[in-house]
Structures are given as C-alpha cells and as structure tokens.
Amino acid sequence: MKKYLITVNEKQYEVEVAEIKSSASKVNQTLKTAPKLKAPVSPSHIKESKPSAGGKKVTAPMPGSIMKVLVNVGDQVTKGQALLVFEAMKMENDLTAPADGVIAEINAVAGNTMAVGETLIVIE
C-alpha cells in the first residue's frame, strides 16, 4: 500500500492505494469506445483563460454542464453560498463560494460545458 495526500477544493485527504499485480495482457488494455457527450462541444464553448486582476478564483472541480448561474457581477457573497448549479455524472451540484467577498468576474454561462480547473467565477 502506498499513501498519498490529495487536495480537493482546498481540503486535504490522505488516501491509500494498493498496487495490483496483473499480467501484461491486462496492463495494455485500451478503451474501445470513448464516452459520449450529451451535446457536442463547439469552438464557442472553449475559452481562453483570461488573467484576472486578483481575488479568489472559483474553478470547476470536474467536467460538466453549467445549468444555472445564481449570482451577478457586483453581488456580495458569503463563504458557502451557492454560486452556480452544474450537472456532472448525471447529478446536479452546487458550486459554492470559498470565501466572503464581491463577485468580480463571471466566466460561466448556463448551457455551456466546463472543464476541470477552468476559472468560472472570481471573488474579490
């Protein structure tokens, strides 16, 4: 068993991973078909990351689709307040504010897809 320290949404978790000994034929298996997206990704969905003027970046924790943006630029938010609703792995999830502040920038649009680590909202 090997132990690793993993950080997810600024929380650290200690995990143990068991090494599996298997035959060479199993190690070289590949995925025959790729998972299907609900909607195709168009070039308009792909964003270039813009440098923000500072503040706390709220990033996408996993790939998914943005369903609703619950805040506007200039809104005062508190830590733990829901900022947007997204769908990932067929479940609706709330993305919450990591700190108190004012919404400085919103890069999320309902209906668009998000990639892991993409900056969706900036709080100052």
**Residue with the two structure tokens 């978790």:** 13
8 A C-beta contact, residue 28 and residue 11: no
Q: What domains appear along the chain, each with residue ranges and CATH number?
A: 53-124 (2.40.50.100)
Q: Give strand pairing partners of 91.
A: 88
The per-residue pLDDT for range 15-56, each reduced to its tens digit, is: 888 877 765 555 555 666 666 666 665 555 555 445 455 688
8 A C-beta contact, residue 81 and residue 46: no
Give the per-residue pLDDT at 101: 93
CA distance 104 to 53: 9
Give the per-residue pLDDT at 44: 54
Give the per-residue pLDDT at 24: 52
8 A C-beta contact, residue 63 and residue 115: yes
2 band by pLDDT with thresholds 50, 70 and 90: confident
* pTM for the predicted model, two decimal places: 0.56
Q: Where is pLDDT greater, at 18 or 65?
A: 65
The per-residue pLDDT for range 71-92, each reduced to its tens digit, is: 999 999 999 999 999 998 888 9
Give the per-residue pLDDT at 11: 80
Give the per-residue pLDDT at 49: 47
